[in-house]
Amino acid sequence: MPHQTTLPRNETGLELAIGILKQRFGDRCQTGLSIREQHGHTTTWIPNQPPDAVVFAESTEDVADIVRVAAQHKVPVIAFGTGTSLEGHVNAPAGGISIDTSRMNAILEVHAEDLDVVVQPGVTRKALNEYLRDTGLFFPIDPGADASLGGMAATRASGTNAVRYGTMRENVLSLEAVLPNGEIIRTGKRAKKSSAGYDLTRLLVGSEGTLGIITELTLKLYGIPEAMSAARCAFPTVEAACNAVILAIQTGIPIARIELLDAECVTALNNYSKLDLPVEPLLIMEFHGSHASVKEQAELFGDIAEEFGGHGFTWTASAEERNKLWQARHDGYWALLQLRPGAEAIATDVCVPISNLAEAVTRTQEQAAAMGLLAPILGHVGDGNFHATLLVDGDEERARADDFIVWLSQLAIELDGTITGEHGIGQGKMASLIKEMDGATHVMAAIKKAIDPDGIMNPGKIFSPDT
């Protein structure tokens, strides 16, 4: 199968390590096929490669204990949060131990006056914001799934709010992690900035579990805006919509969210979420600020939209209407599956400078059509990030989809962009990473070798062991 990595197994080490873990953790160490398959990757088209055992950790010390056993017997460990990543990140190509952190779900400290919070990795983004609701604060990073914060940090996730609030890279102040030898480290304090040595926090954020397992995070918080409004506007073409986004960003309108949906996506959302959006390329937006400023921001964008043929511009401050619209957007993956019942979805993403966005999206649509593929496009276009979700049926279409993803990655590189804005590399984009980073992948491999000489931390992800 495309993108799947298979690595040699250490059968003797696995047997010994699992025996020890069963003795130490009892029922928290599971080896049944069903639960193992749940901890292989099931959210995407990359075939499932289950681990040999799943251990439910309840503390940092548990994680360290599991890793020490694995290190002693040289068997892989794969961190697992909620399993919502899209590039095979939690597959076990060499077998190994899946460390499930879902029970490490405590919110440890809220420092409202400093606008930060300390959490365990199993806390999900929705659970955190529910907990914070009465404090007047919120955490803004929102990938479509209700992902765990540890997993979001490990994959450097972002989402619809990234255009204003940034990604996990900008919002993790420091973290605690267990290294491949079982050592527990902290990468910093709660200060908002630091010049103290290497930036180990940023090294681990986005490392996809290949350098260590995150066991605690200190995150930035923000005040809940006084007012929020949502808006929508239809355009004659995707290119026109992208050009409106470019001008809005260049003009300095502080848009909190701005999402592009092509006509196929709009059809899917209308059907799945019972909406009546105009079936044309569409932008949906959100503005944060005072009551006066959100009104002004919406009106300014409306003026820009008119320059590019935008029509049907409407905005609302109703929380109910706003939440309904954004829930529909977050359900986009499931909505798109209904466009072609029985097909499987292959979700991919790239990110380019916003000045190249219109060209990138337009050429992507043309290429999909030329290859006979159904590939609706949506994305966080305020920062140049967009997604193509290919709906394929059968091996022949899957092969074409694979070729399309390679083409799209090359297009992003050609336009001075990146092969992934938020999905990460995992197993799916290892070959394209070499093309984007060139010699820098060898630097990454050297760091990996120095920290994890036996290669037990989530092997077969980001780059192959022989890089």
pLDDT score at 4: 65
Taking the C-alpha atoms of residue 332 and residue 328, their distance in angstroms, rounded to an integer, is 6
Instruction: Kindly report the CATH class assigned to 227-330.
Output: alpha beta
Tell me if 215 sits within 8 A of 105, measured CB to CB: no
Which of 23, 136, 36, 119 has the alpha carbon at shortest distance from 83? 36
Is-contact 117 219, C-beta < 8 A? yes
CATH topology of domain 107-223: 3.30.465
Is the Cβ–Cβ distance between 313 and 296 less than 8 Å? no
188 contacts: CB under 8 Å, gap ≥ 6: 173, 174, 175, 194, 196, 200, 201, 218
How much is the pLDDT for 178?
98
Same CATH topology for 11-102 and 227-330: the answer is: no
Q: Indicate the class that CATH gives domain 11-102.
A: alpha beta
By C-alpha distance, which of 55, 54, 57, 92 is closest to 76? Answer: 92
From the CB of residue 198, how many other CB atoms can be counted at a distance below 10 Å?
A: 8
Phi, psi of 414 (to 5 degrees): -60, -35
Supply the pLDDT for residue 3.
60
Q: For every one of its 467 residues, what pLDDT tens digit does the chain have, with 9 covering 90 and above? A: 456 678 999 999 999 999 999 999 999 999 999 999 999 976 777 889 999 999 999 999 999 999 999 999 999 999 999 999 989 999 999 999 999 999 999 999 999 999 999 999 999 999 999 999 999 999 999 987 899 999 999 999 998 999 999 999 999 999 999 999 999 999 999 999 999 999 999 999 999 999 999 999 999 999 999 999 999 999 999 999 999 998 999 899 999 999 999 999 999 999 999 999 999 999 999 999 999 999 999 999 999 999 999 999 998 888 899 999 999 998 988 999 999 999 999 999 999 998 899 899 999 999 999 999 999 999 888 999 999 999 999 999 999 999 999 999 999 999 999 999 999 999 989 999 999 998 799 999 999 999 999 999 999 999 887 77
pLDDT at 1: 42
**Which residue from 313, 314, 331, 236 is spatially nearest to 281, judged by alpha carbons?**
236
pTM given for the model? 0.94
Residue 351 has φ and ψ, to the nearest 5°, of -145, 135
For the chain, the domains span 11-102, 107-223, 227-330, 334-433
Length reported for the chain: 467
| Run of H or E residues at 323 | helix 319-330
Instruction: Give CATH for domain 334-433.
Output: 3.30.70.2740
